Structure 1
Amino acid sequence: MRTPARRTAAALAALLLCLAAAPATHAASPHRHRAATLDDLARQHGRYFGSAVDNPELADTAYSDLLGSEFGQTTPGNGMKWDATEPRRGVFDFTAGDEIVNYAHAKGLKVRGHTLLWHSQLPNWLTSGTWTADELRAILKSHITQVVKHNRGKVFAWDVANEIMNEDGTYRQSIFYKTLGPGYVADALRWARAADPNVKLYLNDYNVEGLGAKSDAYYALIKQLKAEGVPVDGFGMQAHLALQHGFPNDVRGNIRRFADLGVDVAVTELDIRMILPADETELAQQADWYGKMTSACLAVRRCVGITLWGYSDGHSWIPSTFPGEGAALPWDENLGHKPAYDAIRNALTAARS
């Protein structure tokens, strides 16, 4: 039996009314209200906000998931160093570095390469050998060329020469300096540029955030390299700070003077440690320092980004290296926010407004 037209129309109107009154559910709705991450906020200033990671930490799913969602950049803590990439002369192993690169790209993170040339974590075959200048130069050129070529297009920057200066501004007496003299730094930069014309090339060190003999030495070196046409694109300030040693209050001016040389500046390994056990006063001071470092970078256009050296106290290098110290990062061992996290966020937000 056919239903009268008026009954059909009434039923349709009632159905539409019910549908209009029903609460809307959309699979994408939670993402509409997702809080901005630190990297989201940094991107609004044309910067990145990142965290280093070491290979064993990728197995900590909660940790690696948060790394992949909160940050926009990562640095392999150890997987690209010489002892990992060339454990035997001429025999290269890119397994560790590739694991982090593949993870990063799957999560949408860009990667800083770390590091091509360092006095530490060198393989025994290199440090125990007796090399002429020509032999060591060939070894160094081969290492840099092979590692950079393997990662060409996968990393956006390299820490080419890492920690080459002493605190007084003299060259560290590494195997490279003692055998090759200071010219090895320019050679390393040129070889890296030849292997990847598009990657950014950095010098990187600690205790260079403020004005002083060590940062002065890097300033003079970069000025000299630029004048000689040597490819140097950036200066990395590690920023391994400690509450008991004071804050580098001239950090903003120091960042600016390096930027004025025509190079980018990055905060590359930021953590701020304290004497344990941590108390509320120390955590508040730490938060203030994290905010100041963030604001200092944002104040100079050529400060391109900030990288934490790990983001959680649960995976920090500090306690094993500095016994009795720690609590250095913006997340605690349980991946909870500390006051430092809020201070970073506030600095990023305040600068935007």
Structure 2
Amino acid sequence: MRGRTVTLITAAAMLAGLFAATPADAGTPLGTLAAQRGKHFGAGIDVGQLTDVPYTTILDREFNAVTPMDSMKWDATEPMRGQFNYTRGDRIVAYAQQRNMIVRGHTLVWHSQAPAWVQSITNPTMLYDALVNHVTRLTTHYRGAVYAWNVVNEPLDANGAYRNSFFYQRLGPSYIATAFRAARAADPAAKLYLSEFGAEGLNAKSDGLYNLARSLLAEGVPLDGVAFQGHMVIGQIPADMVQNFQRFAALGLDIAITELDVRMPLPRTAAKDNQQAADYITMVRACLVVPRCKGLTLWTFSDKYSIIPWTFPSQGAATPWDANMQPKPAYSAIYSTLSGG
């Protein structure tokens, strides 16, 4: 581990002049470069950002895919039982369609950001009915507009066991298969993914995720892929990430990196920027070398809207553009990697 850290730091130092930030409009858009490699390159967005002209200028130029960060979650779409509101999600879908971007749906079932009325259902049959209805209504509404769904989000704990969420407590692990089957019945064409964080490398959590995916497939559950979120820390990219991705691909599953950011302890420095650039190279290359990896999505692309500072106090600067929409060395690193450098 010590030797690997030294290697990463040395690589970052070597990148120092090479990946000085360059104007983002200097070359081919990142989305175009990714498409030339058979991948998509996306951004997590939300409706509040669509009025930010400097932000949308970069979004429109660089990306060919978007994921609503919050606008399709349960609390946004069904805040009261049976009362659905698709306004925010519809706006993002319309924005994407006008620009020929694909949309990834996020997320149908998650223990977090579930309204209080859902969490308060203690009767298993009633919770089952609420889950199936929610998944069915959402996937039916967006049928044909969403190419893939993160169906169940973060079902495991750090050790790879089932997370003791209210879904698990009242329905057991079967709630996962139930959600996938309901989604497939409502939208047979959409690709259905299992989403998790902290499972990018070979570890207890990724072992649990692998076993879960394998058991779902054995049960005939319509699982099409695994979404590795990719919330990373500078200098701590798993060395065995490609090996991990490949074992899921060997199950016949697609792979995607769906919430990519690489955070650093603040304040930001040139050395940290260069390490971050090296880490983004590693993440992008991991997707490029695994044929079943369909693409990457940044969460999001500017520090102005990054979730990191309020999720991890004293950390941040996790994205390829700063809060003023200026590209960092990470942008040039991604560009070079997608270009074949």
- 1:209 pairs with 200, 203, 228, which one? 200
Is 1:231 paired with 2:222?
Answer: yes
Who is 1:83 aligned against?
75
Give the Cα separation in 1 of the matches to 2:161 and 2:197.
Answer: 14
Who is 1:163 aligned against?
154
Contact 1:68 1:104 in 2 (8 A): no
Give the Cα separation in 2 of the matches to 1:328 and 1:34.
Answer: 22
- In structure 1, stretches of 5+ residues that fail to align are 1-32
Who is 2:187 aligned against?
196
After TM superposition, the structure 1 stretch with the greater mean CA deviation from structure 2, 323-332 or 109-118, is 323-332
Who is 2:133 aligned against?
142
The secondary structure found in structure 2 opposite 1:202 is strand
Give the Cα separation in 1 of the matches to 2:73 and 2:163.
Answer: 18
Is 1:102 paired with 2:107?
Answer: no
- 2:246 pairs with 231, 238, 256, which one? 256
Who is 1:13 aligned against?
none
Is 1:269 paired with 2:262?
Answer: no
Residue 108 of structure 1: CA displacement? 1.4
Residue 131 of structure 1: CA displacement? 2.4
Give the Cα separation in 2 of the matches to 1:119 and 1:133.
Answer: 15
Give the Cα separation in 2 of the matches to 1:228 and 1:124.
Answer: 32
The secondary structure found in structure 2 opposite 1:131 is coil
The 5 Å alignment of 1:309-324 reads 309-324=299-314
Residue 250 of structure 1: CA displacement? 0.7
Q: Alpha-carbon deviations, 1:216-274, whole Å to 9, x = none?
A: 11111111111221100010000001126x21111111111111110100000000000
- 2:104 pairs with 103, 112, 125, which one? 112
Give the Cα separation in 2 of the matches to 1:208 and 1:256.
Answer: 13
Residue 64 of structure 1: CA displacement? 1.5
Contact 2:258 2:298 in 1 (8 A): yes
Is 1:41 paired with 2:38?
Answer: no
- 1:123 pairs with 115, 119, 129, which one? 115
Is 1:54 paired with 2:54?
Answer: no
Matched AA of 2:257 = V
Residue 322 of structure 1: CA displacement? 1.5
The secondary structure found in structure 2 opposite 1:235 is strand
The secondary structure found in structure 2 opposite 1:204 is strand
Is 1:153 paired with 2:144?
Answer: yes
Who is 2:295 aligned against?
305
Residue 65 of structure 1: CA displacement? 2.4
Change (3 A) 1:130 1:191: closer
Contact 1:118 1:162 in 2 (8 A): yes
The secondary structure found in structure 2 opposite 1:350 is coil
Contact 1:81 1:114 in 2 (8 A): yes
Who is 1:23 aligned against?
none
Matched AA of 2:181 = R
Give the Cα separation in 1 of the matches to 2:326 and 2:164.
Answer: 42
Give the Cα separation in 2 of the matches to 1:130 and 1:231.
Answer: 27
Give the Cα separation in 1 of the matches to 2:204 and 2:316.
Answer: 27
Give the Cα separation in 2 of the matches to 1:159 and 1:167.
Answer: 19
Matched AA of 2:254 = D
Contact 1:69 1:107 in 2 (8 A): no
Matched AA of 1:265 = I
Contact 1:76 1:114 in 2 (8 A): yes
Residue 43 of structure 1: CA displacement? 0.7
Who is 2:6 aligned against?
none
Normalising by structure 2, we get a TM-score of 0.91
The secondary structure found in structure 2 opposite 1:266 is strand
- 2:170 pairs with 179, 183, 196, which one? 179
Misfit runs of 4+, over 6 Å: none
- In structure 2, stretches of 5+ residues that fail to align are 1-24
Who is 1:295 aligned against?
285
Give the Cα separation in 2 of the matches to 1:142 and 1:130.
Answer: 14
The secondary structure found in structure 2 opposite 1:78 is coil
Between the two proteins, the alignment pairs up a number of residues equal to: 317
Q: Percent identity between the aligned chains?
A: 49
Who is 1:3 aligned against?
none
Who is 2:328 aligned against?
338
Residue 34 of structure 1: CA displacement? 7.6
What is the CA RMSD across the aligned residues, in angstroms? 1.2
Q: Alpha-carbon deviations, 1:50-109, whole Å to 9, x = none?
A: 111011111101211221221000000100000000010011000111111111111211
